[in-house]
Amino acid sequence: MMEKERLRKADIFVSVLIFLFGAWIVKQAFKMPMKDSWGGVMNVWFVSPALFPLLVGTMVIILATLLCRTALKTVGTEELVRTIRWLLSRHVIQYLVSEPILRFYTIVILFLSLVYMNIPRIDFFLSSILFLIVFFTIFYFDDPVLLKKLLFLYLAGVMGFVIYFAAGLDSSLAKVLPYASDLLALWFILAYCFYAWILVRSNPKLRKKFRTSLVVAVSAPFICAPIFKYFLLVPLPAEGLIVALLDRIWYLEF
């Protein structure tokens, strides 16, 4: 019963987010023309492209309202008030920095930085190695203290890369130093590995985990990516320093 009440509490707050999402869909749909003239012919409202998103947005709003109503009937308004008070108290801050939530933050930061920053701009091999090394060391170590330290280092590196790309330094440095972004990523990978080794060098069990993580993180891209690049002839998202080196080896361009 307690588990059901907890789920219903979550349903209330999720329904609010879903409601806002549906309202945003409706708002965007109203920006589409309800009727327009094409080739001298006036289209009527019921063939407008806005109808489908309007229908979807309205249904999302209705379903979110029903979800909230069902949750409130189960939980009750008094329990909802207590939950809101908890959300406004200092206890919620302690919850937001707890280990499970930090692991969630880590996953989000890793995938967002990989998909939206690293893969489009940094050599695919380096992007993959960086992602795998950070992922393995943070989760395979299974240590809350190490998680915070390694996450802080990676987050600092991500912020540095964001500033680097946002300021256009990658284009400026590329004119002077070929593969500048790749070299910077390689330096960060080495710095991260060195820092992780410093943290675990006094623990034999963690040292073994670090070596295993390093071997898998480096070997996996060099086993999988060349198959797509040279045998299936599929271009990689970003081909930089490592790809250029492998091209020279593959095509014997020396």
Q: Which percentage of the chain shows pLDDT scores above 90?
A: 37
Q: Does 92 score more than 60 pLDDT?
A: yes
Mean pLDDT of 117-135: 93
pLDDT in tens, 223-253: 988 988 888 888 888 888 999 899 888 887 5
**What pLDDT is attached to residue 182?**
93
In sign, the C-alpha dihedral spanning 155, 133, 128, 218 is positive
**Mean pLDDT along residues 71-86:** 73
DSSP secondary structure letter of residue 116:
I
What's residue 222's pLDDT? 92
Instruction: State the pLDDT at residue 47.
Output: 52
Closest to 25 in 3D by CA, of 74, 58, 1: 58
The total number of residues shown for the chain amounts to 254
The whole-angstrom separation of Cα 79 and Cα 125 is 51
Confidence tier at 1 by pLDDT (50, 70, 90): very low
Once rounded to an integer, what is the mean pLDDT over residues 73-85?
A: 73
In which band, very low, low, confident or very high, does the pLDDT at 68 lie, cut at 50, 70 and 90? confident
For residue range 197-214, list pLDDT tens digits in order.
999 999 999 999 999 999
DSSP-derived secondary structure for 127-194: HHHHHHHHHHHHHHH--HHHHHHHHHHHHHHHHHHHHHHHTTHHHHHHHHSTTHHHHHHHHHHHHHHH
User: How much of the chain is in helix, strand and coil states, percent to nearest 5?
Assistant: 80, 0, 20
Q: What is the pLDDT of residue 39?
A: 47
* Torsion region of 51: left, alpha or beta (phi above 0 gives left; psi -120 to 50 gives alpha): alpha
Q: Which two tokens stand for residue 152?
A: 């802080």
| pLDDT (mean) for 107-113 | 91
CA gap 119, 30 in Å, rounded: 35
Mean pLDDT of 15-33: 84
DSSP structural state of residue 44 = P
